[in-house]
Structure 1
Amino acid sequence: MMERDDATLRQIAAAQPDRSTWLGANAGSGKTRVLTDRVARLLLNGVDPQHILCLTYTKAAASEMQNRLFARLGEWAMLDSPSLGNALRELGVDGTMDDAALRDARRLFARAIEAPGGLRIQTIHSFCASLLRRFPLEAGVSPQFVEMEERTAKLLRAEIIEEIAAGPHAAKLNALARFHTGETLDELTQDIVRHAPMLSTPWTEAGLANALGLRPDVTARSIEKEVFLGGETALLSLLVTELSAGTDTDFKAADKLRRLSVLDYSALQTLEDVFLSKGGKAPFTVKSYPPTKNVRGALGDTMDLIDAWRHRVEAARPKRVALEAVRLATALQDFSQVFLPAYAKAKQLRGWLDFDDLILRANALLTRSDVAAWVLFRLDGGIDHILVDEAQDTSPVQWQVIDRLAQEFTAGEGARQNVQRTLFVVGDKKQSIYSFQGADPREFDRMQSDWADRLEAAGTPLQSQRLEHSFRSSSAVLDAVDAVFRPLSESGFAPDQRHIAFHKDMPGRVDLWPINPEPDKEDPPLWHDPVDIRAKDDPNVVLAAQIADHIARMIEDGQPIPDKGGMRPVRAGDVLILVQSRGPIFHEIIGACKSRGLPIAGADRLKVGAELAVKDLAALLSFLATPEDDLSLAVALRSPLLGWDEGALYDLAHKRHEKYLWQALRARGEEFPETMAVLADLRDQADFLRPYDLIERILTRHDGRRRMLARLGPEAEDGIDALLSQALAYEQRAVDSLTGFLIWLETDALEIKRQVDAGGDLIRVMTVHGAKGLEAPIVILPDTGTRKNEVKAQILDVGGAPVWKAKSAVMPDAQGAVIERMKAAQSAERDRLLYVAMTRAEKWLIVASANKPGDKGETWYEKIEAGLTDLDALPYPVHGATGLRLERGDWTGPDRVAAPDNAPSLPPLPAFFHTHAPAMDKDAPARTPSDLGGAKALFGEIDTDQDEEAAKLRGTHIHSLLEFLPALPSGDRADIAARLLPDAPDLTDLLAEANRNIEAPALAQLWTATALPEVGITADLPELGRFQGVIDRLILTDDTALIVDFKSNALVPATAEACPEGLLRQMGAYAAMAALVYPDRRIETAILWTRTATLMRLPHDLVTSALARAAAT
């Protein structure tokens, strides 16, 4: 047997398929491999694929795991017996495997592919959606429910707000609006929906007061009685008089007090502002007042009364702010009791569910006493093994769903004796960074303890395992990680946990760059500078330039980096730059790298409306919708789409005499022929094309896509494609119009996630959250300085009660305590975010900061600096200053190895992708078969031009009747004929002729559902050019195509050979065109003589000879 190292033994033990396991996995320890190993071993043990449920956190993780598993099973299917035996032993399958076992292993790929429903590797949301679709009636949802996207939810919330405002509950909305300071209610209603379970429970004012630490008997009137004992009006008048004669500060205070027309509850806030001061641990304390000795002396003995009054104001303040918080919470509660039911009803009527609904409805289904047992029994029969990935990011309500599924493993029928059932959970509390999605790392420990007790009682103990070896990072990076996080036990880091480098000899570095000195006070910007431009010595600009220069030097100098036992030059794709948020430093780094010509993937997420390409296209669309919009036209002219420079635009706008810019442009149109041609074409089409088609016309016909990519770079493609996708989405939801689309586009700051390919040789810049699961040889952390720790949530859980967050100046103590706990939790999560960021690095971690990190030890920079100092990191020169470097291993190393070619090799695009298709020959319009000359009637049938026109009109009328009447009952034909031909003088005769043809048994094949009426056809005929026409009736079979043309001639030829030459040429043209369209069918032609209701088939040689004669002439 092969010798196995400790890391492999731990992975094999964790993947044992017959034991329930709770696995703690450090970053880079191979948890995805353990998951796939465990599923593979379950399949090897004979478990049916449909009895395995693997829950992952993201769709990307589910896809990766499924791909890895199928790749392994597919490889097994192709291996010979010795190789397959070795592969299974590496997986942990010990003992001798006979031919039958190896044959079963080779068949696993087919079993997995053919399993009903496939392998169930999915996110918790996908599982809940499938559960609801399986039991829609029991769950109370539509069987065809649609999962809502955020844009749809936002529009629906706005619609509900409008309905409330116009309905009987408008007063509750008005009450809420009095306390709301934002521009719109969208963020608040979004928070209300997020806290729907808590807000759905009615709370009385007494209950809210109790949660906020206020006695139920405290009212505005009782507070008034405590503060105003009598005589305060005289004191106020005296105080105002004396303050008015004092300093400027005294005068300002007097002005505030003078505005108090009456001393009651409403005056308390002003009195607090004058009498009390912020500071110390207590938010407000009595200050020495009045501040000047002269005023205090003038007041004399009255100061004792004023001081007593001020202390009463101070004592009453906590009660007042708590009472205001109760009023705030009551307004929120009252509005929520109206909004949430209306929102839920609107979703139900439309058959919509949002992501939270999926979890909540599934959880409710699994806990309903009347149906839960039956649902669980059905699921119990289908799920024998549950695997949970990224368990630290699972929210409490998601745990409840998983818990209900796993309960059946230890209770009743679920613990059936003939099935070995297991639970596998893998996670890492140190990487729990999604609290904004409901994740709570405390649940990780609670659920582990709970399941351990239950499984122990059922006789199937839960084994606890830990993976400490990192297959990703060097020892230098891991030593730094341990040193940084050893003191941070409050953030979930156990002091005894360690990180062990699997590749112990791999060289590694951790660099800490020095902080750049603060710039001198900058000069005020010039009036014509863009308002969003940053000064050259702005710390973010300076650091971004340093990072870009450093990467450029590494690439240009061939900086060696460890790779597969050797050294190779650094390449752009080795670098991953991680920030905490997409703030100034994020955009400055991207800009600095672009300005130096470095290959960079651009932002990992982009706001569609903020993209320059989208702004340019939207400006052009706005002009097309409203030509008087001067700003939109100016933006479009300056964009790559039309390519004007600033001077040309200024010349047009400044010198114009017309009111609107578009009028001025048209007046000077001869000077700008290309611009006018584009705008004229688009204006002609704007009223007729859908928004999507109009945008495509701009991008394709007028070369807009190429122009924008040439100026804005390849990353503009994502914004352009997102705009096209939004146009399609809009057309599916509304009656499409250009104006409507522009309004719809502005309703949401749509953000899309760009797929930043790790395989391409591009620098990647993204947030730490976006980099979860990624890795890179070189990781740069430039965003490690001071950050505000503020709670953005508007609705707080205060003792179980939903409370609307008050402003910090008027926040009651109970609410303030909750805020402090939330801030502490956010600080702990930020520590875990730093752990995720540091452990993305394989060989080299570079840490920097654009601003001073402070001196409280709270910033990432300070924590990393302290850790490196504990490890005796050495000073090293960088950017003209001194930084710290922790280095392990030999960075000179053996001979260099070739850099891996990760960039996909793509063949060059053919030339026609870059050139326009040749324009059609407008001088040679398409001809019709009737243009081929020759007589169209027998001799003597038509004598005058009037006869010819009358015959043509009669033929048109007959064609119309034979087009529409065959599909109608005979009793309805007269009425429809009168509507079709209201002015036809001989309608009775025409209808009779049409009926004879429709009802003739010999012509029945012409009127069946498979006979195609009025078929348009266009083709290029040799020696004749382009022809287009309309076939009256086309009858297709497997091997033939019959073309039938209706003729209403008064004289009908006796034979086909006697047909007029012009008709034969016409039918020859139709036959030739049809032969090009249907090359695999035999082409047949015939004429229906409507006067006699007879079908005359024409020999093929007869019509082709007639066509040849037409070509010769």
Structure 2
Amino acid sequence: MDPEAPLIAEARSSAQAVAELRELAELLAVSGEKGVARDESRARLLLNALDSEDDDSFFEHVCQALFKEGGRGDPFQCKATNAGANRLGVAGQERFLALHASCADRFMEVRTQRAEQSAFRVNAAVFRCGAACLDQLQKLKAHRRLVDFTDVEWRVHQLVSRSDNAQYMLHRLDARYENILVDEFQDTNPLQWQVLLAWLRAAEEAGSGPTVFLVGDPKQSIYAFRGADARLFREAREHLRSHRGAAVSEQNVSYRCASAVLDVVNQVFGDNGVYDGFVPHESARQGLRGRVELLPLAPVPEIDHDVPREGMGQADPLSRPPPTLSGGPRAAEAGEVALRIAEIVGRMLVDDRGVARPARYRDVMILIRKRRHLDAFEAALRAAGVPYVTSRQGGLLERLESGDFQALLRFLITPFADLDLARALRSPVFSCSDADLQAIAASDGETWWVRLQSIDVAGRASPALARARRLLQSWLAVADRLPVHDLLDRIFFDADVVRRYRAAVPPALVQSVTANLHAFLELALALDSGRYPSLPGFLHALEDLLGGTDDEAPDEGIADAGEDAVRLLTVHGAKGLEAPIVFVVDAHVFDRTDSFHILVEWPAGRRSPSRFHARTRREEDVPSARPLLDSAAANANREEANALYVAMTRAKQMLVVSGTSSSRPAPSTWYRRIETALCALGDEYGHGAGLEEVSDAQGGPTVAEASQAVLDEFPVWTGEFGSRGNEDSTPATERGSRIHWLLQHLAPPASVADLSWIRRRLGVSGELFEEALQVARSVLSSPGLQRFFDPGQYRWARNEVAYVRGDGELGRMDRVVCLQDELWVIDYKTGETSLRQDLPADSPWIVQLREYRAAASLLWPGLRIRTALIASDGFLHEIDA
């Protein structure tokens, strides 16, 4: 095809084509005169085309007359009918059908060739511009002495295959390494395979070479967007077989998933044609209870934009979530998921190395396909009080805690920035109240910083403001001298930042906020390898990142794996992870990429790609690209199935799938596939016996029995517990501290089942540990205290609840338990054998509980607050208001 050929002019210059169009127009006109309005309109279009002097206008009118959808669709359907014969006569109708078919074929070919020309011009422009952009990018990286991962791959490839030193390098590799193990080989891209293949071929030619192990699962290849090609697994397997006599070992036994989960996996993938030769999986844990559930599709809520958002006011988003969920398309589904998690945690038993224990939040993983609906599920978890952690791509600098520190740092370089100072003061770093800010605003002074200093000097500052002034003064003195990371580190230490934020935010946000604080601190070193020695330079760098894309901006922090919080991840982010309970959400969508992207044809075994094609829109697809498009569609379907396989096989015991209803038909969504599998197994909404509930647990080893065998396998701290820095300690106080610590770690919802870990952390062994453990268990099992320790008898419970006192210091409540309409604050006095006698009114314990009551009244308004002490004999001593 000539990309510059004047196709329309050539078609128009054909006397036969013009004559056929004119004759066709006359026949259509006759039909139009006899009552067929559409034929009259089409005749007029053909006559206008023949009268037009402009080639583009001519072609547009002809296409509108011959093809549907305004000239872009298929030819109009024409067939012999009695009515047509009556209008045109039998011969006339036959001539009309022949002319219409001939003209449609001729101009369909012209239209196709024009589309090919357009695609050629687009591709030429794209790759010309792309090459120029890549050239500039390489120059920029060279100027800055940077290489990215693709550069590393390409340079290694050149080093072992094209450079003068290739043979020497391959010889050195062969001499140094005796074994090669490549894990996750299904995620290998063609260039990486070429590097490994060059090494193997050089070794084969030398008659030597390392032992090669390739490990992978083509069903888990989900990184095509990074160039991964699962077909290379077969290519590599055949190469090693034919050239090295390699043995192939296949594994279809899962040591992770329960049989109930694998039953559904086998049903989904066994007969769908996506996986050739799929081998049904078996579970190595046949006795493990499991279940797959399908939540009913959630409706899409109708949003009434005229309804005012009453009751919102100016709520503090750190301490109180919005009263209602967002009206987004996934809000209802997210709410159902959060509710189901609340029903599971603390009430169902999961397997923990052979021991059944109540499920914790960290046993739950939520997998979402795309990040765009992450906000809805985060909002639902916050509203339900479910702690969660997530690694939001590019979202660190947009979080409230990050904004607090950006405001604080801006103030330290511009002390006249009143708004930044106000935000910093209201943040948990200082926990100043609205009244404190109003006091500053009502004072005299050119700036708020001057006013804050003046009211502190005058003795009119609250304890929180006095503390803020003292800390700010010390940080201002060093802000221009310390590197940014050192300054932030000092701020974190001086202000006890992490503990204050953990005390200020609701439990659902504690883990993610803590992770983000640490991530912000690390950012000071990560940005350009810490080469921003000044605060202004660091803040300018943050502004640049805020204005960039999500890929460029720093991600949110990842919480410690030991934190008790639900993990909210994308399917790609969960690769290689597992959890007892997995929710696969937003499963009733079927994305089809119909936007601009580059298709690459790189046959397995070839040294380089054979074809590139820039696809614009589906409507502009051309026949010459059809094989490449079909191949890309097949690969996309395979990758879609792979992602579903990865998501389902993250679940060890329980898999819950949810989705939101859609007005568009989507028969092949993940939700529908699993629904079909469940129906085939006999139950539309579930399969498997399910997890035991706490009250139904029977048989099996207890925590103590299962853990006793390993108690002596690990060394313990031999120093006396609590001896460091505690000169006033006595054996009695140390005993009380041990029991207190055990109650914190054995009481649900975050009870720890691993006694070996508990013993090592407690730092004692033998009789001291056993005696403290027996007392703690006696307290937890006391009949009169079950409403505080049995998850089935309370709405929720928290251990170690921190809060900020009026003087800016931290306080901590041992245990807070919410029953139906009242909230109990429990304080452990485990150093006391009994508290059955009355306490004097001025007892420090009573004063302490009154402070707890006041704090709890502010944290949970609307609930009746009750306070009590618990001694080591399990007696509850309630303290009246």
Matched to 1:863, the amino acid is: R
| Equivalence for 1:901 | 753
| Equivalence for 2:380 | 592
Checking the alignment, whether the CA contact within 8 Å between 1:475 and 1:888 is kept in structure 2 is no
Equivalent position to 1:616, from 397, 404, 417:
404
| Equivalence for 1:353 | 147
Structure with max Cα Rg: 1
RMSD: 5.3
Matched to 1:725, the amino acid is: E
Matched to 2:152, the amino acid is: L
Give me the whole-angstrom Cα distance separating, in 2, the residues matched to 1:350 and 1:770. Answer: 31
Please state how far the C-alpha of 1:410 moved relative to its aligned partner.
3.0
**Is 1:839 matched with 2:649?**
yes
| Equivalence for 2:116 | 322
Q: 1:644 to 1:791 in 2, by over 3 A?
A: farther
Q: 1:733 to 1:688 in 2, by over 3 A?
A: closer
Between stretches 359-368 and 619-628, larger displacement belongs to 619-628
Give me the whole-angstrom Cα distance separating, in 2, the residues matched to 1:327 and 1:651. Answer: 68
Matched to 1:822, the amino acid is: A
**Is 1:551 matched with 2:355?**
no
| Equivalence for 2:688 | 886
**Is 1:464 matched with 2:266?**
no
Equivalent position to 2:624, from 807, 810, 814:
814
| Equivalence for 2:231 | 442
Please state how far the C-alpha of 1:804 moved relative to its aligned partner.
3.2
Give me the whole-angstrom Cα distance separating, in 2, the residues matched to 1:286 and 1:628. Answer: 72
Please state how far the C-alpha of 1:836 moved relative to its aligned partner.
1.4
Matched to 1:501, the amino acid is: S
Give me the whole-angstrom Cα distance separating, in 2, the residues matched to 1:487 and 1:753. Answer: 41
| Equivalence for 1:522 | 303
Checking the alignment, whether the CA contact within 8 Å between 1:516 and 1:539 is kept in structure 2 is no
| Equivalence for 2:371 | 582
Give me the whole-angstrom Cα distance separating, in 2, the residues matched to 1:724 and 1:770. Answer: 23
Give me the whole-angstrom Cα distance separating, in 2, the residues matched to 1:747 and 1:828. Answer: 33
Give me the whole-angstrom Cα distance separating, in 2, the residues matched to 1:716 and 1:868. Answer: 39
Give me the whole-angstrom Cα distance separating, in 1, the residues matched to 2:56 and 2:488. Answer: 60
**Is 1:395 matched with 2:189?**
yes
Give me the whole-angstrom Cα distance separating, in 2, the residues matched to 1:275 and 1:626. Answer: 71
| Equivalence for 2:831 | none
Q: 1:730 to 1:567 in 2, by over 3 A?
A: closer
CA deviation digits over 1:978-1002, x for unaligned, max 9?
xxxxxxxxxxxxxxxxxxxxxxxxx
Give me the whole-angstrom Cα distance separating, in 1, the residues matched to 2:381 and 2:390. Answer: 9
| Equivalence for 1:1051 | none
Give me the whole-angstrom Cα distance separating, in 2, the residues matched to 1:222 and 1:396. Answer: 40
Alignment of 1:2-401 (within 5 A): 215-216=1-2, 218-219=3-4, 221-226=6-11, 263=54, 277-278=68-69, 284-285=73-74, 315-348=109-142, 350-368=144-162, 370-401=164-195
**Is 1:425 matched with 2:214?**
yes
Checking the alignment, whether the CA contact within 8 Å between 1:392 and 1:431 is kept in structure 2 is yes
| Equivalence for 2:565 | 762
Give me the whole-angstrom Cα distance separating, in 2, the residues matched to 1:760 and 1:625. Answer: 36
Equivalent position to 1:788, from 591, 596, 601:
591
Give me the whole-angstrom Cα distance separating, in 2, the residues matched to 1:262 and 1:638. Answer: 73
Matched to 1:590, the amino acid is: E
Give me the whole-angstrom Cα distance separating, in 1, the residues matched to 2:627 and 2:113. Answer: 16
Give me the whole-angstrom Cα distance separating, in 1, the residues matched to 2:663 and 2:218. Answer: 26
Q: 1:264 to 1:857 in 2, by over 3 A?
A: same
Please state how far the C-alpha of 1:266 moved relative to its aligned partner.
9.5
Q: 1:411 to 1:391 in 2, by over 3 A?
A: same
Q: 1:427 to 1:602 in 2, by over 3 A?
A: closer
Partner SS, residue 842 of structure 1: strand
Please state how far the C-alpha of 1:468 moved relative to its aligned partner.
1.8
Give me the whole-angstrom Cα distance separating, in 1, the residues matched to 2:76 and 2:584. Answer: 46
Please state how far the C-alpha of 1:447 moved relative to its aligned partner.
1.6
| Equivalence for 2:848 | none
Please state how far the C-alpha of 1:452 moved relative to its aligned partner.
0.9
Checking the alignment, whether the CA contact within 8 Å between 1:396 and 1:443 is kept in structure 2 is yes
| Equivalence for 2:728 | none
CA deviation digits over 1:190-212, x for unaligned, max 9?
xxxxxxxxxxxxxxxxxxxxxxx
**Is 1:507 matched with 2:303?**
no
Please state how far the C-alpha of 1:551 moved relative to its aligned partner.
2.5
Matched to 2:334, the amino acid is: A
Q: 1:815 to 1:437 in 2, by over 3 A?
A: same
Please state how far the C-alpha of 1:268 moved relative to its aligned partner.
7.0
Q: 1:343 to 1:645 in 2, by over 3 A?
A: same
**Is 1:777 matched with 2:580?**
yes
Structure 1, unaligned runs of 5 or more: 1-214, 236-245, 289-302, 416-420, 456-460, 876-882, 918-1113
CA deviation digits over 1:211-267, x for unaligned, max 9?
xxxx02x426444453688999xx9xxxxxxxxxx9xxx9xx99xx99xx9935599
**Is 1:484 matched with 2:271?**
no
Matched to 1:454, the amino acid is: H
Please state how far the C-alpha of 1:444 moved relative to its aligned partner.
0.6
Q: Percent identity?
A: 28
Equivalent position to 1:573, from 362, 369, 372:
362
Give me the whole-angstrom Cα distance separating, in 2, the residues matched to 1:719 and 1:601. Answer: 10
Matched to 2:524, the amino acid is: A
Partner SS, residue 345 of structure 2: helix
Equivalent position to 1:717, from 500, 508, 514:
514
Checking the alignment, whether the CA contact within 8 Å between 2:369 and 2:570 is kept in structure 1 is yes
Matched to 1:479, the amino acid is: D
| Equivalence for 2:661 | 851
CA deviation digits over 1:603-650, x for unaligned, max 9?
476622232222333345456667898986776576545667899999
Q: 1:888 to 1:318 in 2, by over 3 A?
A: same
Please state how far the C-alpha of 1:286 moved relative to its aligned partner.
5.9
| Equivalence for 1:862 | 672
Checking the alignment, whether the CA contact within 8 Å between 2:396 and 2:557 is kept in structure 1 is no
Structure 2, unaligned runs of 5 or more: 23-36, 78-95, 313-320, 602-608, 704-750, 763-799, 810-881
Matched to 2:54, the amino acid is: L
Checking the alignment, whether the CA contact within 8 Å between 2:254 and 2:282 is kept in structure 1 is yes
Give me the whole-angstrom Cα distance separating, in 2, the residues matched to 1:607 and 1:364. Answer: 37
CA deviation digits over 1:24-79, x for unaligned, max 9?
xxxxxxxxxxxxxxxxxxxxxxxxxxxxxxxxxxxxxxxxxxxxxxxxxxxxxxxx
Give me the whole-angstrom Cα distance separating, in 2, the residues matched to 1:545 and 1:836. Answer: 25
Please state how far the C-alpha of 1:858 moved relative to its aligned partner.
1.0
CA deviation digits over 1:391-447, x for unaligned, max 9?
1111111111222222244332426xxxxx522222111111111221111111122
Q: 1:690 to 1:320 in 2, by over 3 A?
A: farther
CA deviation digits over 1:353-394, x for unaligned, max 9?
221122221122211374322222222212222222111111
CA deviation digits over 1:755-790, x for unaligned, max 9?
455544432221222222222222222231113221
Please state how far the C-alpha of 1:486 moved relative to its aligned partner.
0.6
Give me the whole-angstrom Cα distance separating, in 1, the residues matched to 2:686 and 2:247. Answer: 42
Q: 1:538 to 1:732 in 2, by over 3 A?
A: closer
Please state how far the C-alpha of 1:684 moved relative to its aligned partner.
7.8
Q: 1:733 to 1:483 in 2, by over 3 A?
A: same
| Equivalence for 2:782 | none
Partner SS, residue 271 of structure 2: coil
Please state how far the C-alpha of 1:835 moved relative to its aligned partner.
1.1
CA deviation digits over 1:133-179, x for unaligned, max 9?
xxxxxxxxxxxxxxxxxxxxxxxxxxxxxxxxxxxxxxxxxxxxxxx
Q: 1:563 to 1:617 in 2, by over 3 A?
A: closer
Please state how far the C-alpha of 1:717 moved relative to its aligned partner.
3.0
Checking the alignment, whether the CA contact within 8 Å between 1:359 and 1:398 is kept in structure 2 is yes
Checking the alignment, whether the CA contact within 8 Å between 1:332 and 1:804 is kept in structure 2 is yes
